[in-house]
Amino acid sequence: MILEKVINRIVLQSEYKDFVDKYRDNILTEFKGKIHSIYMCGSIPKGTAKPFKSDADFTIVCVNSKDIDYERLSNIKDRLLEEYPVVTKIDTIICSIDDVLSKPNEWGFWIKIICVCIYGHDVGEKVPPIIISPEFILDLNTETKEEVDRVRRGLLSNASDNSLKTRYIKGYSKRLIRALYSLVLEDTGVWQDDIIMMKNAILNYCEIDSALVDYLYACYLDSNVLVEEFLGVADEVYSYFENALNAMAASRTSFG
Q: Quick one: pLDDT band at residue 159, thresholds 50, 70, 90?
A: low
Rounded distance, CA 211 to CA 229, Å? 14
Q: Quick one: pLDDT band at residue 154, thresholds 50, 70, 90?
A: low
Q: What is the pTM of this model?
A: 0.86
Biggest CA-to-CA distance, the chain: 56
Q: What is the mean pLDDT of residues 188-206?
A: 94
Note the helical H segments in 94-194. 97-102, 107-109, 134-140, 144-149, 156-158, 162-182, 185-188
Domain at 14-131: CATH code: 3.30.460.10
Give first-to-last CA distance, the chain, whole Å. Answer: 19
| Residue boundaries of the structural domains of the chain | 14-131, 135-255
Q: Quick one: pLDDT band at residue 184, thresholds 50, 70, 90?
A: very high
pLDDT at 254 over 60: no
> What pLDDT score does 160 carry?
67
pLDDT at 101 over 70: yes
Q: Quick one: pLDDT band at residue 45, thresholds 50, 70, 90?
A: very high
C-alpha separations of 1 from 125, 131, 194 in Å: 18, 6, 20
- State pLDDT tens for residues 166-176: 878 888 899 99
Of 35-44, 166-175, 194-203, where does mean pLDDT reach its minimum?
Answer: 166-175
- State pLDDT tens for residues 209-240: 999 999 999 999 887 788 888 889 999 999 99
> What pLDDT score does 224 carry?
78
> What pLDDT score does 168 carry?
82
> What pLDDT score does 253 carry?
64
What does the mean pLDDT of the chain come to? 91
Of 40-49, 50-59, 166-175, where does mean pLDDT reach its minimum?
Answer: 166-175
Q: Kindly state the percentage of the chain with pLDDT values over 70.
A: 95
